[in-house]
Amino acid sequence: MRSLNAGKPKDAISNSNLLFLIAAVIFVLMYGFAILRYPGSFLQFQTFFDLFSLNAPLIIITLGISIVMIGGGIDISVGAVTGLVTMCCAVLLESGTGSVWSAVLLALGIGVAFGLLQGYLISYLEIQPFIITLAGMFLANGLLTTIHKDPLNVTLPAFVSLRDFELVIPWLGTKNRLGNFIPLEIKPGAVIAAALIVILVVVMKWSRFGRNLYAVGGNSQSALMLGINVRRTKFYSYALCGLLSGIAGFVYIMTTGAGNVGNAAGFEMKAIAAAIIGGTMLTGGVGNLFGSPVGALTLLTINELIRAAGVNSNYQAIVSGFLLYVFIVLQSVVVWLRGRGDFRLALPSWLLPGRRTAEDRG
């Protein structure tokens, strides 16, 4: 049996997984450099988990953006919708008539409403997604400033308890400068973000919707000829993105404890940048949702490195923009070379899940 398989080519890694691996390697190298340069800060487990905990809303939004981009679309309203959700939840909780659960339902309802409306206009009326989501961004921003113009702290006891709740992992703690041991603390938002990553990766990899979305993003005409309902698939992707924006909005207010007009400002651009850095292509059909948090954490690590170096914060945008250029060019070059057959990267069959070699079967 070994001689029969000796000349068999190994299973080639997909574009989605290849771009994700490139993003993951770059993040590991960057964080490793941060540890070597500033071991007092980045060597602690708490620093890494704080990146995840304090930026869980951005990671959740990036997941939604990635799903829409895989389907060949775009949504620039997610930041404004997230900000609207935070303010609406704050007003409801401070009014004395709402509970934490009603605020959760309100957040999900607002997000889904925007997702359904924009998804219908884009998918069934075939209006350009950039125009529709730009209108959605203006609408959400207008509603946000109309509902409440000033920052609003939430003082409802049940919500304050949720905001201050932390998961404690004693065996991953570190000692401070005084020699006192401090256990690792994780915010609930990080747990929600991690759970969503796992769920959505499973959905995109093994569900019919996920497979259809990749096909639609790759070539909608070919997907239509294969019997895939292209309109419905795109509609579901925008509805799911809206739902994730609603979840991100509640996670945001759960993390900060306040509604603010400036909440989630610019999140849509950061999320798009994080999705691209994580290996999701704007042209559609290529992307790995594991890359979404990797891309977000890469951007956040850059910001933390610049802050730790005491450099002007303006350099954060400069470095982020330059890094985005690099990843866009890298993605294009890799996909072009693989299309020509000049670039090959394969993994052994035993590393690919769900694959068995002839030796294993025989």
Among 58, 39, 111, 79, residue whose Cα is nearest residue 277:
58
Residues 6+ apart with CB under 8 A from 51: 297, 300, 301, 304
Q: Residue 7: is it exposed, middle or buried by C-beta count within 10 angstroms (0-12/13-18/19+)? A: exposed
Token pair listed for 121: 């206009």
Phi, psi of 293 (to 5 degrees): -65, -30
Among 217, 294, 257, residue whose Cα is nearest residue 100:
257
The predicted structure's pLDDT at residue 340: 66
| Stated length of the chain | 362
User: Which stretches does DSSP call E strand in 230-306?
Assistant: 258-259
The predicted structure's pLDDT at residue 150: 75
Q: With beta carbons less than 8 A apart as the criterion, state whether 69 and 280 touch.
A: yes
Over residues 245-270, the pLDDT tens digits come to: 999 999 999 888 877 766 566 788 88
The predicted structure's pLDDT at residue 63: 95
Token pair listed for 133: 């989501």
State the 10-residue block means of pLDDT for the chain, 362 residues long. 41 70 86 83 78 88 94 92 91 83 93 96 93 94 84 83 81 66 82 94 92 91 90 95 94 84 74 88 86 88 79 71 79 72 49 40 39
The predicted structure's pLDDT at residue 270: 87
The predicted structure's pLDDT at residue 194: 92
DSSP string, 104-135: HHHHHHHHHHHHHHHHHHHHTS---HHHHHHH
Among 290, 320, 250, 271, residue whose Cα is nearest residue 92:
250
Hey, where are the domains in the chain? 2-361
How far does CA 172 lie from the centroid of its chain? Answer: 26
Q: Is 31 strand, coil or helix?
A: helix
- Hey, what amino acid is at 64? G
CATH number listed for the domain at residues 2-361: 1.10.3470
* Distance of alpha carbon 62 from alpha carbon 104, whole angstroms: 20
How many CB atoms within 10 Å of residue 81? 37
The predicted structure's pLDDT at residue 262: 65
Q: Is 172 strand, coil or helix?
A: strand
User: Distance between the two ends of the chain, CA-based, in angstroms?
Assistant: 8
Token pair listed for 295: 């891309």
DSSP 351: G
Specify the pTM.
0.85
DSSP 349: G
Q: Which helix (H) or strand (E) holds 2?
A: helix 2-5
The predicted structure's pLDDT at residue 260: 73
* Distance of alpha carbon 206 from alpha carbon 63, whole angstroms: 17
Over residues 53-101, the pLDDT tens digits come to: 888 999 999 999 999 999 999 999 999 999 999 999 988 988 877 788 9
